[in-house]
Amino acid sequence: MTATEYLESIRRLDVRLRMKEKERACVEQDICSIQAIDYSKDHVSGTHTADIADKITRLDDIIAEIEREWDELINRRAAARRLIRTMPDGIGQELLIAVYVRARDIHEVADDMHVSRSQFYRMRMAAIQEFAPYYHKLGQIGTP
């Protein structure tokens, strides 16, 4: 994996994190909408009806899995931030962290830096080129 591919994979984590938040919200909503079993209806012999406790247990397992994945994604972002911080150029660090770790809009970052879009893209390319040796030296060991 190249340094650019690594940075892009970190940027895409933002989307995955937002999807995990939505998934967790849906599961929590499902827990709140579980209804009791209607025992007044006929029961067919040989079938197993899951009771509320079984459903809550399954939903709790799903939430636990989502939380484990969430923690893993957060840890990957933190590791990327630490790796970027090994660079000596403070402006390059902030640019890479803003764009790739915090997944901020490129145009907003350029505006915040008070540079034109074309100047921003040149700065980003220079920061990535500066980051590449640090990634290859320190980062590839722990990257997926």
91-114 pLDDT, tens digit per residue, is 999 999 999 998 899 999 999 999
The verdict on residue 117 lying in a domain is: yes
**In the chain, what percentage of residues exceed pLDDT 90?**
33
The verdict on residue 105 lying in a domain is: yes
pTM of the model: 0.69
* Residue 50 confidence (pLDDT): 55
Packing angle of the helix pair 117-134, 3-32 (nearest 10 deg): 100
Domain count, the chain: 1
Most confident of 42-51, 56-65, 93-102: 93-102
The verdict on residue 7 lying in a domain is: yes
The verdict on residue 99 lying in a domain is: yes
Q: Which two tokens stand for residue 116?
A: 């034109």
The verdict on residue 44 lying in a domain is: no
Residue written as token pair 């500066």: 130
* Residue 29 confidence (pLDDT): 79
**In the chain, what percentage of residues exceed pLDDT 70?**
81
Question: Which whole number is the average pLDDT over 83-97?
Answer: 91
The verdict on residue 13 lying in a domain is: yes
17-44 pLDDT, tens digit per residue, is 788 778 878 877 777 776 655 566 665 5
Residue 41 has what DSSP assignment? S
The verdict on residue 114 lying in a domain is: yes
User: Which of 129, 128, 131, 136 shows the shortest CA–CA distance to 88?
Assistant: 131
Range of the structural domain that residue 84 is part of: 3-34+54-139
Give ∠ CA 33-34-37 in degrees, rounded to 5.
Answer: 140
Half-sphere exposure of 48 (CA within 13 A, CB side): 3
The verdict on residue 101 lying in a domain is: yes
> What is the band of 127 on the pLDDT scale with cuts at 50, 70, 90?
very high
* Residue 72 confidence (pLDDT): 84
